[in-house]
A and B are shown apart, each in its own frame.
Chain A
Amino acid sequence: MEIFLQQILNGLVLGSVYALVALGYTMVYGIIGLINFAHGEVVMVGAMITISMLTMFSAMGIQLPGVVVLLMAMMISVPACMILAYFMEKVAYRPLRKAQKLAPLITAIGISIILQNLAMMIWGRGFKSFPSVIDVEPIDFMGATVTNLQIAIMIVAVLMMLGLWFLVERTKLGKAMRATAVNQEVAGLMGISINHIISMTFVIGAGLGAIAGVMRAANYGQADAYMGAILGLKAFSAAVLGGIGNIFGAMAGGILLGVIESLAAGYIGDLTGGFLGSHYQDIFAFIVLILVLVFRPSGLLGERVAERA
Chain B
Amino acid sequence: MNKTMKYGLLLVLLVALPFIVNATPFLGPTWVRILGYAMLYVMLALGLNIVIGYAGLLDMGYIGFYAVGAYLYAVLSSPHLFENALASGPMDWPFWVVIPLCAIVAGIFGVLLGAPTLKLRGDYLAIVTLGFGEIIRIFMNNLDRPYNLTNGPQGINNINPLHIGTHSLKSTWTLFGLEFTPVINYYLVFLGIVIFVIFLSSRLENSRIGRAWMALREDEIAAEAMGLNKRNIKLLAFGMGATFGGVSGALFSSYQGFVSPESFVLMESIMILAMVVLGGMGSISGVVIGAVILSVMPELFRDVVNAIQPVLVNNITFISEDTLRNVLDASTLRMLVFGLAMVLVMRYRPEGLWPSARRRQELHDKDEEPFDSAHYVKETSHAKISADEPDNRDTTGEGR
Which residues of A are interface residues toward B (Cβ below 8 A)?
Answer: 33-35, 92, 95-96, 98-107, 109-114, 116-118, 120-125, 229, 233, 236-237, 240, 274-277, 279-280, 282-283, 285-287, 289-290, 293-294, 297, 306-309
A307 touching B119 by the CB < 8 A rule? Answer: yes
Complex formed: what's the CA distance from A282 to B116 in Å? 20
Bitwise, B316-338 to A at CB < 8 A (1) or not (0) is 00000011001101001101101
Task: Name which residue of chain A comes closest to B145, CB basis.
Answer: A277
Known: A101-B122, A233-B130, A293-B120. A277 touches B142 (CB 8 A): yes
Interface centre among A101, A111, A275 (most CB of B within 10 A): A101
Interface centre among B135, B322, B339, B366 (most CB of A within 10 A): B339
The main secondary structure of chain B at its interface with chain A is helix
Known: A100-B363, A114-B336. A35 touches B343 (CB 8 A): no
Please tell me which one of the listed residues A103, A121, A276, A283 contacts residue B350 in the complex, with CB atoms under 8 A apart. A103
A286 touching B131 by the CB < 8 A rule? Answer: yes
A283 touching B138 by the CB < 8 A rule? Answer: yes
A117 touching B339 by the CB < 8 A rule? Answer: yes
Known: A117-B332, A308-B124. A229 touches B266 (CB 8 A): yes
Task: Name which residue of chain B comes closest to A297, CB basis.
Answer: B119
Please tell me which one of the listed residues B273, B281, B339, B392 contacts residue A114 in the complex, with CB atoms under 8 A apart. B339
Please tell me which one of the listed residues B128, B281, B338 contacts residue A290 in the complex, with CB atoms under 8 A apart. B128
B391 touching A33 by the CB < 8 A rule? Answer: yes
5 closest Cβ contacts across the A-B interface? Answer: A110-B342, A286-B131, A113-B339, A114-B339, A110-B343
Which residues of B are interface residues toward A (Cβ below 8 A)?
Answer: 52, 56, 58, 60, 116-117, 119-124, 126-128, 130-132, 134-135, 138, 141-142, 145-146, 266-267, 270, 273-274, 277, 281, 322-323, 326-327, 329, 332-333, 335-336, 338-343, 346-347, 350, 363, 366, 370, 391-394
Complex formed: what's the CA distance from A297 to B124 in Å? 10
Known: A102-B58, A114-B340, A307-B119. A107 touches B135 (CB 8 A): no
B120 touching A105 by the CB < 8 A rule? Answer: no
A309 touching B343 by the CB < 8 A rule? Answer: no
A118 touching B119 by the CB < 8 A rule? Answer: no
Interface centre among B60, B127, B281, B394 (most CB of A within 10 A): B127
B157 to chain A minimum Cβ distance, whole angstroms, is 22
Complex formed: what's the CA distance from A99 to B363 in Å? 9
B116 touching A110 by the CB < 8 A rule? Answer: no
Interface centre among B122, B142, B322 (most CB of A within 10 A): B122
The main secondary structure of chain A at its interface with chain B is helix
Task: Name which residue of chain A comes closest to B271, CB basis.
Answer: A113
Complex formed: what's the CA distance from A274 to B135 in Å? 19
B51 to chain A minimum Cβ distance, whole angstroms, is 12
B298 to chain A minimum Cβ distance, whole angstroms, is 13
B351 to chain A minimum Cβ distance, whole angstroms, is 10
Subset of 18 A-B contacts with CB under 8 Å: A95-B347, A102-B58, A103-B350, A106-B277, A107-B343, A109-B339, A112-B339, A113-B270, A113-B338, A117-B335, A118-B336, A121-B332, A233-B127, A237-B127, A282-B134, A286-B132, A297-B120, A307-B392
Complex formed: what's the CA distance from A276 to B346 in Å? 42
B343 touching A111 by the CB < 8 A rule? Answer: yes
Complex formed: what's the CA distance from A279 to B150 in Å? 15
Please tell me which one of the listed residues B60, B121, B277 contacts residue A307 in the complex, with CB atoms under 8 A apart. B121
A99 touching B138 by the CB < 8 A rule? Answer: no
Contacts of B346 in A (CB 8 A): 96, 99, 103-104, 106-107, 110
Contacts of B135 in A (CB 8 A): 283, 286-287
B121 touching A96 by the CB < 8 A rule? Answer: no
Complex formed: what's the CA distance from A112 to B342 in Å? 11
A100 touching B123 by the CB < 8 A rule? Answer: no
A148 to chain B minimum Cβ distance, whole angstroms, is 34
B127 touching A113 by the CB < 8 A rule? Answer: no
Complex formed: what's the CA distance from A117 to B331 in Å? 9
Task: Name which residue of chain A comes closest to B134, CB basis.
Answer: A286
Complex formed: what's the CA distance from A105 to B322 in Å? 34
A99 touching B123 by the CB < 8 A rule? Answer: no
